[in-house]
């Protein structure tokens, strides 16, 4: 079986009560937003999907914050005029506890397109990559990742199908998109890498 990794641990504050999201094969799922502060003071607002049984078992007496463990998932949303990649956290466990904020991600998978390397006007190195993280039943989750500095430079030398392991955090980014109906505020999600490694030489 092909080795892979897709793990995320979050600890943050519930922005609002969970709301019903969808039903799949008789299982009901709920969605909520978790606010996870960064050391810089910025706050990532991250979507979480959890099965109804996990929500019902949640004991709020444990603390004011929620810890979520699970995987990052992606889903292609298509309309008649456009499509976009929806990123969310699929919770395996949710429990209430107090403590410092946590946002830790480990992903491993092949690059599904060539890295995009660039420099900012101030000379900072940035590399954007898209990982195809394998899932059961021959499916894959597509993860947009951003790398910085020396790590960006090293991974920019990789190519499609090279296996990459990334450790970092899931972050949210609000941007304005110009549409036929005028400017619209939207939120993008991406993995900001703290470290990254090409695994091709280890296989």
Which contacts qualify for 38-45: CB closer than 8 Å, 24 or more apart?
A: 38/101, 38/103, 38/169, 38/171, 44/103, 44/169, 44/170, 44/171, 44/172, 45/15, 45/172, 45/187
Interatomic CA distance for residues 45 and 31, integer angstroms: 13
Structural domains in the chain, CATH included, are: 5-105 (2.40.50.140), 106-202 (2.40.50.140)
> Which residues have a Cβ under 8 Å from the Cβ of 201 and sit 6 or more positions away?
none
- For 115-171, the pLDDT digits (tens) are 999 998 898 999 999 999 999 888 999 999 999 999 999 999 999 999 999 999 999
- For 43-86, the pLDDT digits (tens) are 999 999 999 999 999 988 888 999 999 999 998 877 666 677 89
Tokens read off for 33: 């937003």
88 and 48 in contact (C-beta within 8 Å)?
Answer: yes
Indicate whether this model's pTM tops 0.85.
yes
User: For residue 126, what are the β-bridge partners?
Assistant: 118, 148
């Amino acid at each position: 079986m092909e080795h892979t990794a897709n793990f995320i641990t979050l600890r943050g504050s519930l922005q609002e009560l969970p709301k019903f999201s969808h039903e799949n094969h008789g299982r009901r799922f709920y969605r909520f937003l978790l606010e996870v502060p960064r050391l810089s003071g910025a706050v990532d607002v991250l979507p979480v999907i959890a099965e109804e049984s996990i929500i019902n078992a949640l004991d709020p007496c444990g603390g004011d914050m929620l810890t979520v463990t699970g995987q990052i998932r992606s889903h292609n949303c298509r309309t008649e005029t456009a499509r976009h990649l929806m990123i969310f956290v699929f919770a395996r466990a949710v429990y209430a506890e107090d403590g410092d904020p946590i946002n830790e991600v480990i992903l491993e998978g092949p690059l599904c397109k060539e890295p995009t390397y660039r420099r900012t006007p101030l000379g900072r190195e940035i590399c954007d990559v898209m990982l195809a993280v394998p899932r059961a039943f021959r499916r894959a989750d597509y993860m947009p990742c951003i790398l910085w500095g020396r790590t960006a430079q090293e991974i920019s030398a990789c190519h499609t199908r090279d296996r990459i392991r990334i450790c970092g955090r899931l972050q949210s980014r609000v941007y304005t998109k110009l549409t036929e109906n005028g400017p619209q505020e939207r939120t993008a999600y991406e993995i900001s890498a703290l470290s990254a490694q090409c695994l091709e030489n280890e296989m």
